[in-house]
Amino acid sequence: MTIRDIQVALSWRGYRPGALDGVWGRKTAAALRQFQSNHGLDPDGIAGPMTLAALFPNGHKAVATLDDPALVWFQEARRLMGVKETPGAASTVTILDWAGALGIPYKGDDIPWCGLFVGHCISATLDREPVPSGLLSARSWQSFGVQTDPTPGAVMVFWRKSPGSGLGHVGFYAGEDDGAFRILGGNQSDSVSLAWVGRDRLVSARWPATLPPPVPRPVTVSRTEGLSVSEA
């Protein structure tokens, strides 16, 4: 089950989700809300279990936790893996476009952009979810949404350099082991990538306030890499 499967099913039923490209945007969310309203469901624009059952009455394939299409912001983050900042004075247009869409003055990708990446993924897919002011600062994400335990898609906020430095890092939960969290984030080795961040650095795990609170589902992942020590 993928976002494109949902778009195709909506299109077949006469709704207009936009391009059938597997990218969750405002047109897809609006089409799903209309479908939900027409079927007596909460029009939250999220493809949860009840919505999927109505959209696919003949059943649909179960998906792994991290592949859950309801985690539209996390799937957007996965889609962007590999985006890199440009070395030197130039900047990557994709990263600048995220800032432009959010109306944020942003001079170039030499400015830490982990918070910008999270802001893009949230705002591009959850059109009713407020993002923190000053979202370029990773620690500003401590005020985002509501508190949760670490779970797939959660916004994970960490301190950087020292707990009292005011510096931080932010990304999305993509797994864990006994000593660290696997984080899908921006500005990790200057790119959108997966990295391991020590558990002792966690400040807060957050969840979108416009969605039902999750039932935390830890995902254990085998680690072969060392811990990330700097994400700027």
Q: Are residues 39 and 95 in the same domain?
A: no
Q: Are residues 123 and 11 in the same domain?
A: no
Average pLDDT over residues 55-84: 88
Whole-number mean pLDDT of the chain? 93
Give kind and range of the element (H or E) at residue 195.
strand 191-198
Q: Are residues 41 and 148 in the same domain?
A: no
Q: Are residues 41 and 77 in the same domain?
A: no
Q: What's 131's domain CATH number?
A: 3.90.1720
Q: pLDDT tens digits, residue range 125-150?
A: 998 999 999 999 999 999 999 999 99
Q: Are residues 196 and 92 in the same domain?
A: yes
Q: How many CB atoms lie within 10 A of CB 177?
A: 13
Establish if 181 belongs to a structural domain: yes
Residue 171's pLDDT band, with cuts at 50, 70 and 90, is very high
CA distance 72 to 3: 8
Ordered DSSP codes for 135-186: TTSGGGGGGSSEE--S-TT-EEEEE-SSTTSS-EEEEEEEEE-SSEEEEEEE
Q: What's 29's domain CATH number?
A: 1.10.101
Q: Are residues 51 and 121 in the same domain?
A: no
pLDDT at residue number 63: 65
Establish if 219 belongs to a structural domain: no
Q: How many structural domains compose the chain? A: 2
